Amino acid sequence: MHLPDGLLSAPVCLGGYGLTGLATWYSLRQIQRDPDVSRNMPKASLLTAAFFVASSIHIPVPPTSVHLVLNGLLGTVLGYYAFPAILIGLLFQAVILGHGGMTVLGVNAVMMGVPALVAYHVFQLRRVWPWGSDRPRLGVFAFLAGALGLGLAALIFFALVMTNIPAAMDAQAERTAIYGLTLAHVPLMLIEGGFTAMLVLFLHQVKPDLLGHHGTP
Amino acid sequence: MKLNIDEYAHLRSPIHAWQPRYKLIGLGALMFAVAMVETLWLVPVIMGLTALLYGLSRLPWRYWLQRLRYPSFFLLGVILVLPLMSGETVLWQWGPLTLWQEGCWAVVLIVGRFLSILTLSLLLFGTAPFLQTVKAMRSLGLPATLTDMLLLSYRYLYEIADQFLRMKQSMRLRGFGYAPTRRIPLIPQRRDLQVFASLAGTLFIRSYEQSERVYQAMRLRGYGNSRSQLAERDRPRLDPWSAIATGLSLTMAIALVVAEYWIGMKA
């Protein structure tokens, strides 16, 4: 789910870079508040590389397979480091694989990164949620974070594609297509949410330090 | 896992001789000028221009075709869907199928812009070592934390990718994916999800533990003291060829924007 070069007009691309600049500034400001930033930076960097590699996992869904976006998971594990991590991952994908592109890097970063930050805050809600025991609560909020991360990214993706096709298209048809394509992603949201919940529960059991205490690794 | 973008960075050509900092400015401006093109008549101009620059770089065409493999799915989608979905003027009709003129023009525009920007990106990242390009980004104001994260991620990307391939191979050797299971169409199996979650989780834990060792090694080399960073913000001196190349590319970018505006005004 990447917007490619050539599809969007230059003002939209520049707007994407502007919003990415703002989101990066905000994330880096939050990261600088971390008392141990020089220790956590290498952790976030290596986890960024690991996320980039893990995004090649394909889950078998007969008769085909789906690949995971993992932006919600990035938010849950990396906290505010998620936005810079997504920006770096998208740069690698554009440069190394040809997924996405350089002019749309900003737009793609907003599309994936802002839902990741939302997912992080949704995951943090588990701390104030008074009901349920620890482990099921962790699983439920991780599921919501993973599903929401993908759902919001899909909504932004289809809205951008439909409103930027440079040919006449009926507004009503445009709206129907956006809603329809986003709804078609609901099964994928369930898969992404389930995968995120399973992975977070695995990390909680094997290496709880990795889930961090304040949204940082 | 072969991910090298800069495998031809050692070649000798006018594009390779262009300093990365100024190449980033010149080709970046050209990319955005290409993204601004909305007029069909300018599509052959941008494609000719980028083909000329690519020829000057002496990068093999095989390299260009390799990089086109993933985006070709997108191109195919645009070519197949857009002419049948979008437009007002009917070119051809057969039963429920209608070919729209505006959709066809949109395909030409999108594909032309896409190929040109992709070629310019390859020129930018394929003609200098990736680390030099990152340092050039830093010299142009990329935040230090982001630059350090980028350098470290790139440094360990190949190592982590190799680890991941070994883990997947181990899974296959233990029979994962070969066991006869009854699969329901369109429903992923819970066990598959669990195995892949454990696989990704193990990769994250290994990376996390490795990062502890990396951090200790960096500390021993002075990282974190007196705000030292991996990439210093240095500004290389502008050599005559880089000045000419940057001037030419900025002129071409401005000319494209002016031509687009002028044709738009006339229309």
Is A78 among the domain residues? yes
Report how far residue B134's alpha carbon sits from residue A102's, in angstroms, rounded to the nearest whole number.
Answer: 14
Is B94 among the domain residues? yes
Residues in chain A closer than 8 A to B88 (CB atoms): 168
| Average of per-residue pLDDT across B239-251 | 95
Residue scoring higher pLDDT (B125 or A182): B125
Is A206 among the domain residues? yes
Question: Looking at the structure, do residues B134 and B205 belong to the same domain, yes or no?
Answer: no
Question: Looking at the structure, do residues B129 and B150 belong to the same domain, yes or no?
Answer: no
Is A4 among the domain residues? no
Question: Looking at the structure, do residues B130 and B261 belong to the same domain, yes or no?
Answer: yes
Q: What is the DSSP string of B90-138?
A: EEEEETTEEEEHHHHHHHHHHHHHHHHHHHHHHHHHHSS-HHHHHHHHH
Instruction: Find, among A40, A43, A53, the residue nearest to B199 by Cα.
Output: A53
Is B2 among the domain residues? no
Range of the domain at B124: 14-139+235-266
Instruction: Inspect the interface and report whether the beta carbons of A167 and B105 lie closer than 8 Å.
Output: yes
Q: What share of chain B is helix, strand, coil (3-state, %, to 5)?
A: 70, 5, 25
The predicted model scores a pTM of 0.90
Model confidence pLDDT, tens digit, residues A112-154: 999 999 999 999 999 888 877 888 999 999 999 999 999 999 9
Question: Looking at the structure, do residues B128 and B19 belong to the same domain, yes or no?
Answer: yes
pLDDT of B181 reads: 65
Q: What CATH number should be reported for the domain holding residue A149? A: 1.10.1760.20
Range of the domain at A42: 10-211
Is B115 among the domain residues? yes
Question: Looking at the structure, do residues B202 and B158 belong to the same domain, yes or no?
Answer: yes
Question: Looking at the structure, do residues B176 and B256 belong to the same domain, yes or no?
Answer: no
- Residue B119's alpha-carbon distances to A119, B83, B250, in angstroms, are 35, 25, 17
On whether any CB of chain B is under 8 Å from the CB of A8, the answer is: yes
Question: Do residues A59 and B196 touch, judged by C-beta distance below 8 A?
Answer: yes
Q: CA of A55 to nearest chain B CA: how many angstroms apart?
A: 9
Question: Looking at the structure, do residues B155 and B244 belong to the same domain, yes or no?
Answer: no
Is B3 among the domain residues? no
Torsional class of A61: left (φ above 0), alpha (ψ -120 to 50), beta (otherwise): beta
pLDDT of A215 reads: 46
Q: CA of B49 to nearest chain A CA: how many angstroms apart?
A: 16
Model confidence pLDDT, tens digit, residues B172-211: 898 887 666 666 777 788 888 899 999 999 999 999 999 9
Is B253 among the domain residues? yes
Report how far residue B91's alpha carbon sits from residue B77's, in angstroms, rounded to the nearest whole number.
Answer: 20
Is A5 among the domain residues? no
pLDDT of A166 reads: 59
Calculate the dihedral angle through the C-alpha atoms of B46, B51, B56, B62, rounding to the nearest 10 degrees: 150
Report how far residue A144's alpha carbon sits from residue B207's, in angstroms, rounded to the nearest whole number.
Answer: 25
Question: Looking at the structure, do residues B133 and B150 belong to the same domain, yes or no?
Answer: no
Question: Looking at the structure, do residues B118 and B240 belong to the same domain, yes or no?
Answer: yes
Question: Looking at the structure, do residues B255 and B219 belong to the same domain, yes or no?
Answer: no
Choose the weakest-confidence range: B105-109, B240-244, B252-256: B105-109
Instruction: Inspect the interface and report whether the beta carbons of B35 and A5 lie closer than 8 Å.
Output: yes
Question: Looking at the structure, do residues B169 and B211 belong to the same domain, yes or no?
Answer: yes
Is A52 among the domain residues? yes
pLDDT tier, A35 (very low <50, low <70, confident <90, very high otherwise): confident
Question: Looking at the structure, do residues B61 and B187 belong to the same domain, yes or no?
Answer: no
Residues in chain B closer than 8 A to A81 (CB atoms): 149
HSE on the CB side for B31, CA within 13 Å? Answer: 25
HSE on the CB side for A152, CA within 13 Å? Answer: 21
Q: CA of A17 to nearest chain B CA: how many angstroms apart?
A: 12
Is A3 among the domain residues? no
Is B4 among the domain residues? no
Q: Number of structural domains, chain A?
A: 1
pLDDT tier, A185 (very low <50, low <70, confident <90, very high otherwise): confident
E strand map for B105-264? none
Q: CA of A213 to nearest chain B CA: how many angstroms apart?
A: 15
Residues in chain A closer than 8 A to B176 (CB atoms): none
Q: 3-class DSSP state for residue A7? A: coil
Model confidence pLDDT, tens digit, residues A194-216: 999 999 999 999 999 888 744 45
| Average of per-residue pLDDT across B34-46 | 93
Is A200 among the domain residues? yes
Question: Do residues A58 and B199 touch, judged by C-beta distance below 8 A?
Answer: no
Report how far residue B92's alpha carbon sits from residue B255's, in angstroms, rounded to the nearest whole number.
Answer: 37
Which of A59, A166, A206 lies at the smallest CB-CB distance from B205?
A206
Q: Number of structural domains, chain B?
A: 2
Question: Do residues A84 and A34 touch, judged by C-beta distance below 8 A?
Answer: no
Instruction: Inspect the interface and report whether the beta carbons of A6 and B157 lie closer than 8 Å.
Output: no
Is B1 among the domain residues? no
Is B7 among the domain residues? no
On whether any CB of chain B is under 8 Å from the CB of A37, the answer is: yes
- Beta pairing class for A58-61 and A64-67: antiparallel
Is A72 among the domain residues? yes
